[in-house]
Amino acid sequence: MQALINFVISIWVPLVCALVIVAVLPLAAGYIVLMERKVMADMQARLGPMRVGPHGLLQPIADAVKLLLKEDIIPEEADKGIFWIAPLISVTAGMLAMSALAIGPWFQVADLNIGLLFVVGIGALGIFGIVLGGWSSNSHYSLLGALRSAAQLVSYETAAGMAIVGALLLAGTLSIREIIEAQEDYRVWFVFASPVGFFIYVVASIAETNRAPFDLPEAESELVAGYMTEYSGFRWALYFLAEYTNMVVVASIATTLFLGGWLRPFAGSRAFDFLDYLPSVMMLGVAGYCFYRAPKQPVKIQQMVLAAVGASFILVAGILAAPLLAPAGSMLASAKAGLHGAFWFLLKVVLYLYLFMWLRFTFPRYRFDQLMRLGWQFLIPLSIVNVMGIGLALVLHRQLGWSHWTAFPLTTILTLAVAGMLGSAGAKKDKEHAIVGEEA
Amino acid sequence: MADQRIPFATHAETTVLGADEIVLNMGPQHPSTHGVLRVKLRLDGEKVIGSECVIGYLHRGVEKIAEHRTYTQFAPYVDRMDYVAAVSNGLGYCEAVEKLLGAEAPLRARVIRTILTELQRIASHLFWLGTHALDIGALTPLFYCLREREEILKIFEKYCGARLTTHAFRIGGLQYEAYDELEKDVERFCTPFDKRVDEYESLLTGNRIWVGRTKGIGILTAKEAIDYAASGPVLRASGVKWDIRKAMPYAAYDLYKFEIPTGKNGDTFDRYIVRMEEMRQSRLICLQAIENIPAGPIMGKVGKVLKPPPGEVYHSIEAPKGELGYYIVSDGTTQPYRVRIRPPSLINLEAFDKMIRGHLVADVVAIIGTLDIVLGEVDR
Amino acid sequence: MLDQIVFYFFAALAVISALLVVTRRNVVQSAIFLITALLATAGIFLQLHAEFLFIVQVILYAGGIMVLFVFVIMLINLDVSIHQVQFNRQWWLGLLLALVLGAQLILAVALGRSGLPLGEPAPATALEPSTQLVGRVLFNEYMLPFEIASILLLVAMIGAVVMAKKKV
């Protein structure tokens, strides 16, 4: 009996975290979609969803309800079992990857000592969702679109993996928690130690999630049906959810590895402790904006909803400020790490997602052969050189005793020089092929 | 060009062509063919080795209708051909009939016609830019272009009551006097417009991805362009300096100073640069024109009932899409005997097969976009 | 006790998936069950605290090799297999031979178990994480085989590209 109770206690935190992931992540993905629509509208000089709820805040709920109520159409000749399971594989892979990542020092389903490798591996399993979805649609063009998408994912996975290896060399461990602690010990986020690696990871992660400018397999549903075409209603919503979950996963990996995870900027130095008040101030600012906009809403109920949203932000600001104002050493003060950690992590993830959206609405799409050429002939060689560069920097620092302020910038410049040489060599080759516009 | 008319295989004959070749149909309903255009592509893997455009899905028999309407009654029909640039269509038709009648519109009418036509050219190119960028994947320029175009459509609405199918001109001149704030509105539009075009260029021209998707795609050499009777920006981007506004001036174009942009290589990128520059030049024409709109009548001496003497006339103008020509045969009655319209979009579309060969499927949308076709004009 | 439950779960999953691989008509379904069999094996690795092997099995086998298998299956039209007869007439002979072979193997292992040099397994948590262990051993004692294996893979990649490249 006691063993059972011990067992339950030891798993209740992971269980709660897992439940939160399964329950909250779909809702969060819906709101990321709303954020994307609002950001898209802002960049296109318009407003975006405004009707459903004040400023469109209830739009994701309306969309979810609509998708659930849609008729479930399955193509006649399709393999029904595979048709059913393909979106589930995508969603499961995304959520499973999320479970290994830590949103704050308190929120992690399991701190595996191969955590990072686990996330990358599960991402590889997500490819099956796409391939099987394209296959089960029983359409020649759907299948080709799916295979093309999978080929793109596999190619950029290599580059992303090598970029991760670069940061891994700096951290010396695969465990998520220890990587962030290593950044805390070094007093510097790995993005500054390996900026080339971060750049490679950003580009590769955009291609991994099939986002513009690498979304030809998806947008090619204009020309050749993409893998999602035969899916409608809630099955399509699952694919969409999987795509946004993948975005959150790669943003979380980038935040963990390069942007310091749950660490506050300048986490080590006490001089910047005033930054600890920044979360509450930001939440109060958002609440103030909500109260400012509330009277301007056209309909009474929207005013009330927006006021309620503002009030909830004030509550969050209070929760974030409480550990700072409580007497030191009390239980409330020790909650600071968990709450603030989660806030900083989520803030960085949101900024990374904003970067994704910004790039999507600025750049046109790459053609598929240009995309593959970019991946194989530019990113992969660059990532290999990056790994060698970081290795060189570590040797200089550890074996030869150079300070890391000299070793790392030096190797970064070397890596960039090699990148420049690669880029110009590639551009020269491009000119030869320019007339035909494709590789023979 | 011996292989130009390869008989096109139907689906049943696919196996005869060889194991790797497939026939891909970009159906009439397609987000990127700018209307109901059907393109049958013969593909070797990813490369296009042959194509056939099937048109006629928007054929409304406009030329046949012309034989049963009076000259004045037919004027609203021409707007519906190139519906993106209705004012130009109207200009060509009215000037053609005026030539047939031997009448001339007064100078004031010609100047106002020029202003409205150049504004329409800017609007048409803005719409082209937005949709072309959208096809290639840049989602944002569309909204900026439509924002600018909205101002022009507001001017048209103030002038003649309609935004799209304007029927702005009448045979012999104009029906409506220029409204009071026309000059102010045009100036308010044109003054910041140069910076706006710079904004679009900053998003696209220097962008590596844009250049990669458009440079070297769909090359049409100068000789080929002339052989295919291409016109408009398609011809000029191939290096041929031919613009009807300069070669055979009509309306009030001989009064204003403007340049004819030409390209070098005849690829998609050059056509894009040429159209951007044309927008800037149209703005200059508008600014020059509104400085001095001469006073005077707006309607020439044409009777109420138009009965041109028997004869024929061919009159062409430089529409935004190319050389828009009207060949009108009159038999002395109030209804024309034959109205034949030279549609620039259709004739430019003939070059599509030449331009697409050797490129990939993903370039098809880029090339259809760069030809700037409007199916209303292609099919009439 | 939890250990045993987990082990039997993964083992049963592996065996059932393996059976389903060979009995399905639809080749894609076979491939999917092969993936589940591989994942079940990976689960057994994890249960033995060999995390590195677990994740490498998932990444390479399930996420790499099986993806390529599935690519090939989908690009080649294998509908023909659905209409073929799956079992030939002498299936009873095959089953008999398999049972005899299985019985021989079980007997051999049961009788010779005491002779196998399986020492007491060290408590797995006493070791450092397996990734570090594998890495250290791989790059110190087995450096030469590692290099040879990587050259082998490089040669295979170049060969594949050369064979698949179309004549220009």
Is B6 within a domain? no
Look at residues A164, A114, A150 and name the one whose alpha carbon lies nearest to residue C64.
A150
* pLDDT for res B33: 65
* pLDDT for res C81: 56
Asked if B365 and A368 come within 8 Å (Cβ–Cβ), the reply is no
Residue B228 sits in the same domain as residue B369: yes
Burial of A153 (0-12, 13-18, 19+ CB in 10 A): buried
Quick one: how far is CA A341 from the chain centroid?
17
Tell me which of A115-119, A229-233, B86-90, B246-250 is least confident: A229-233
User: Best-predicted range by mean pLDDT among A4-13, A336-345, B176-185, B322-331?
Assistant: B322-331
Asked if A364 and B210 come within 8 Å (Cβ–Cβ), the reply is yes
Asked if A147 and C28 come within 8 Å (Cβ–Cβ), the reply is no
How many domains, in total, are found in chain B? 2
Residue A192: both structure tokens together = 């500054």
Is B235 within a domain? yes
CA distances from B253 to A29, B89, B174, B282, C155 (A): 57, 17, 17, 11, 69
Residues C111-124, mean pLDDT to the nearest whole number: 68
| Chain B residues touching A226 at Cβ < 8 A | none
Look at residues A162, A139, A5, A136 and name the one whose alpha carbon lies nearest to residue A83.
A136
The closest CB to that of B362, out of A212, A361, A368, belongs to A368
* pLDDT for res C73: 84
Please check the confidence at residue A436 and state whether its pLDDT lies above 50.
no
* pLDDT for res C82: 59
Cα–Cα distance measured from residue A116 to residue A175, given in angstroms and rounded to the nearest whole number = 6
How many percent of chain B have pLDDT more than 70? 94
The closest CB to that of A364, out of B31, B147, B213, belongs to B213
Burial of B149 (0-12, 13-18, 19+ CB in 10 A): buried
Give which of A44, A139, A211, A368 to mutate to test B binding, by max B Cβ within 10 Å.
A44
Look at residues B30, B31, B13 and name the one whose alpha carbon lies nearest to residue B22.
B13
Residue B148: both structure tokens together = 């600018």
Give which of B32, B33, B126, B140 to mutate to test A binding, by max A Cβ within 10 Å.
B140
* pLDDT for res B233: 93
* pLDDT for res B10: 38
| Chain A residues touching B210 at Cβ < 8 A | 364
| Chain B residues touching A46 at Cβ < 8 A | 143
pLDDT bracket for residue B7 (50, 70, 90): very low
| Chain A residues touching C70 at Cβ < 8 A | 128, 131-132, 135
Shortest CA gap A121–chain C (Å): 5
Is B315 within a domain? yes
Asked if A437 and B210 come within 8 Å (Cβ–Cβ), the reply is no
Please check the confidence at residue A437 and state whether its pLDDT lies above 60.
no
Shortest CA gap A140–chain C (Å): 10
Range of the domain at B221: 62-379
Residue B33 sits in the same domain as residue B137: no
* pLDDT for res B3: 42
The closest CB to that of C59, out of A79, A113, A121, belongs to A121
The closest CB to that of A120, out of C59, C67, C168, belongs to C59
**A50 or A354, which is more confident:** A354
Residue A308: both structure tokens together = 């309620």
Cα–Cα distance measured from residue A48 to residue A366, given in angstroms and rounded to the nearest whole number = 26
* pLDDT for res C122: 61
Shortest CA gap A215–chain B (Å): 9
Phi/psi at A392 (5° precision): -60, -45
What is chain B's mean pLDDT, rounded?
Answer: 87
Residue B33 sits in the same domain as residue B150: no
Cα–Cα distance measured from residue A211 to residue A244, given in angstroms and rounded to the nearest whole number = 10
* Contact status, residue A93 vs residue A129, Cβ threshold 8 Å: yes
Query: The tokens 């951290």 sit on which residue?
Result: A171
- Chains in touch with C (≥3 Cβ pairs < 8 A): A
Residue B37 sits in the same domain as residue B67: no
Question: Closest chain B residue to A214 measured between Cα atoms?
Answer: B137
Residues A275-282, mean pLDDT to the nearest whole number: 85
Asked if B139 and A223 come within 8 Å (Cβ–Cβ), the reply is no
**B104 or A144, which is more confident:** B104
How many percent of chain C have pLDDT more than 90? 34
Whether residue A100 lies within 8 A of chain C, CB to CB, comes out as no
Residue B251 sits in the same domain as residue B208: yes
Whether residue C168 lies within 8 A of chain A, CB to CB, comes out as yes
CA distances from A128 to A37, A263, A439, B293, C24 (A): 28, 35, 29, 68, 19
Please check the confidence at residue B129 and state whether its pLDDT lies above 80.
yes
Residue A194: both structure tokens together = 């390996």
- Top CATH class of C1-81 equals mainly alpha
Whether the ω angle into residue A217 lies within 30 degrees of 0, i.e. cis, is no
Cα–Cα distance measured from residue A134 to residue A225, given in angstroms and rounded to the nearest whole number = 9
- Chains in touch with A (≥3 Cβ pairs < 8 A): B, C
DSSP string, A138-193: T-HHHHHHHHHHHHHHHHHHHHHHHHHHHHHHHH----HHHHHHHHHHHTS-HHHH
The closest CB to that of B363, out of A46, A213, A437, belongs to A437
Residues A367-378, mean pLDDT to the nearest whole number: 87
| Chain A residues touching B200 at Cβ < 8 A | none
* Contact status, residue B38 vs residue B4, Cβ threshold 8 Å: no
Is B2 within a domain? no
Asked if C71 and A112 come within 8 Å (Cβ–Cβ), the reply is no
A176-227 confidence digits (pLDDT tens): 888 988 888 888 888 888 889 999 999 999 998 888 788 877 775 455 557 7
- Chains in touch with B (≥3 Cβ pairs < 8 A): A
DSSP string, B81-113: TSGGGHHHHHHHHHHHHHHHHT----HHHHHHH
Q: How many CB atoms lie within 10 A of CB B264?
A: 12
Cα–Cα distance measured from residue A205 to residue A255, given in angstroms and rounded to the nearest whole number = 12
Is B1 within a domain? no
| Chain A residues touching C26 at Cβ < 8 A | 79
Q: How many CB atoms lie within 10 A of CB A418?
A: 18
pLDDT bracket for residue A421 (50, 70, 90): confident
Shortest CA gap A304–chain C (Å): 50
Give which of A4, A7, A128, A155 to mutate to test C binding, by max C Cβ within 10 Å.
A128
* pLDDT for res C64: 87
Name the DSSP class of B7: P
Cα–Cα distance measured from residue B270 to residue B172, given in angstroms and rounded to the nearest whole number = 38
Residue B238 sits in the same domain as residue B342: yes
The closest CB to that of C63, out of A112, A124, A175, belongs to A124
Residues A418-435, mean pLDDT to the nearest whole number: 66
Give which of A131, A148, A164, A165 to mutate to test C binding, by max C Cβ within 10 Å.
A131
pLDDT bracket for residue B4 (50, 70, 90): very low
| Chain A residues touching C62 at Cβ < 8 A | 124-125
Whether residue A380 lies within 8 A of chain C, CB to CB, comes out as no
User: Best-predicted range by mean pLDDT among A233-237, A435-439, B21-25, B244-248?
Assistant: B244-248
Question: Closest chain A residue to C39 measured between Cα atoms?
Answer: A125
Asked if B359 and A361 come within 8 Å (Cβ–Cβ), the reply is no
Residue B44 sits in the same domain as residue B96: no
* pLDDT for res A232: 79
End-to-end CA distance of chain A: 71
Asked if A79 and C35 come within 8 Å (Cβ–Cβ), the reply is no
Q: Quick one: residue C50, left, alpha or beta (phi over 0 = left, psi -120 to 50 = alpha)?
A: beta
* pLDDT for res B93: 93
What is chain A's mean pLDDT, rounded?
Answer: 84
Tell me which of A317-331, B74-88, B114-128 is least confident: A317-331
Please check the confidence at residue A350 and state whether its pLDDT lies above 90.
yes
Please check the confidence at residue A276 and state whether its pLDDT lies above 70.
yes
Residue B37 sits in the same domain as residue B166: no
The closest CB to that of C58, out of A121, A135, A440, belongs to A121
Cα–Cα distance measured from residue B349 to residue B357, given in angstroms and rounded to the nearest whole number = 14
Cα–Cα distance measured from residue B229 to residue C135, given in angstroms and rounded to the nearest whole number = 69
* pLDDT for res C1: 75
The partner residues of B22 in beta bridges, in order of sequence, read B43
Please check the confidence at residue B231 and state whether its pLDDT lies above 50.
yes
Shortest CA gap B120–chain A (Å): 23
A405-420 confidence digits (pLDDT tens): 778 888 888 888 888 8
pLDDT bracket for residue B234 (50, 70, 90): very high
Residues B314-325, mean pLDDT to the nearest whole number: 92
Residue B38 sits in the same domain as residue B151: no
Residues A274-297, mean pLDDT to the nearest whole number: 86
Asked if A360 and B139 come within 8 Å (Cβ–Cβ), the reply is yes
Q: How many CB pairs under 8 A join A and C?
A: 68
Whether residue C139 lies within 8 A of chain A, CB to CB, comes out as no
The closest CB to that of A437, out of B210, B216, B365, belongs to B216
| pTM listed for this prediction | 0.87
Domain ranges of chain C: 1-81, 127-168
* Contact status, residue A262 vs residue A256, Cβ threshold 8 Å: no
Please check the confidence at residue B148 and state whether its pLDDT lies above 70.
yes
Residue B71 sits in the same domain as residue B217: yes
Residues B208-225, mean pLDDT to the nearest whole number: 89
- Taking the C-alpha atoms of A411, A417, A420 and A426 in order, what is their torsion angle to the nearest 10 degrees? -90
C43-98 confidence digits (pLDDT tens): 998 888 888 889 899 998 998 899 888 888 887 765 655 566 666 778 888 889 99
pLDDT bracket for residue B1 (50, 70, 90): very low
B257-293 confidence digits (pLDDT tens): 999 999 888 899 999 999 999 999 999 999 999 888 8
* pLDDT for res A81: 83
Tell me which of A38-52, A151-165, C67-81 is least confident: C67-81
* pLDDT for res C85: 64
* Contact status, residue A94 vs residue A21, Cβ threshold 8 Å: no
Cα–Cα distance measured from residue A126 to residue A93, given in angstroms and rounded to the nearest whole number = 5
Tell me which of A431-440, B31-40, B43-52, B324-333 is least confident: A431-440
Residue B192: both structure tokens together = 């910041």
Question: Closest chain A residue to C36 measured between Cα atoms?
Answer: A125
Look at residues B260, B203, B209 and name the one whose alpha carbon lies nearest to residue B237.
B260
Cα–Cα distance measured from residue B218 to residue B210, given in angstroms and rounded to the nearest whole number = 14
Degrees, nearest 5: CA angle A391-A392-A395: 85
DSSP string, A54-122: GGGTTHHHHHHHHHHHS-----TTS-HHHHHHHHHHHHHHHHHHHHHS-SBTTB-S---TTHHHHHHHH
Asked if A364 and B359 come within 8 Å (Cβ–Cβ), the reply is no
Residue B297: both structure tokens together = 């009548």
B32-57 confidence digits (pLDDT tens): 667 888 888 888 777 888 889 899 89
Asked if A113 and C32 come within 8 Å (Cβ–Cβ), the reply is no
Give which of C39, C51, C128 to mutate to test A binding, by max A Cβ within 10 Å.
C51
Tell me which of A218-227, A388-397, C26-35 is least confident: A218-227
Asked if A223 and B140 come within 8 Å (Cβ–Cβ), the reply is no
Residue B148 sits in the same domain as residue B49: no
Residue B37 sits in the same domain as residue B126: no
Asked if A222 and B361 come within 8 Å (Cβ–Cβ), the reply is no
